[in-house]
Amino acid sequence: MSGQLGLHINAIRHFIDEHSDIKINGLTTSEINRKIVKPKTLDTNQPFIHRYIGLSDPNTGAPYISSATVFVSHAWRYIFYDVVVAVMEQYAS
């Protein structure tokens, strides 16, 4: 994982809060990509993670992007929110 950047778990929480107008908890990762990620990256041609560069959690001050310590892989057909909840339960402090 050395040198790889990743989203902090609090950035994922922020993503969910930021898109509370969309019923995220029933969408697959593929649907999240199509409905949220792609529309927000079309004009910039930059990876979605770049939207979080320089941002920090307002409660803890932890940067939203840091060196990755865990790699999470899942199928695009999985329910996005279920994967996020499982990751938070496993790794959130």
Q: Could you count the other beta carbons within 10 Å of the beta carbon of residue 3?
A: 6
Going from N- to C-terminal start, the domains of the chain cover 5-91
Residue 1 has pLDDT above 80, yes or no: no
Task: State whether residue 92 is helix, strand or coil.
Answer: coil
Q: Dump pLDDT digits (tens) for 18-55.
A: 888 777 878 999 999 999 999 999 998 899 888 899 99
Among 91, 82, 68, 70, CA closest to 29: 82
Percent of all residues in the chain with a pLDDT value above 70, rounded to a whole number: 95
Q: Could you count the other beta carbons within 10 Å of the beta carbon of residue 45?
A: 6
CA angle 43, 24, 13 (to 5 degrees): 80
Q: H or E segment at 6?
A: strand 5-7
pTM: 0.77
pLDDT for 63 equals 93
Q: Could you count the other beta carbons within 10 Å of the beta carbon of residue 73?
A: 5
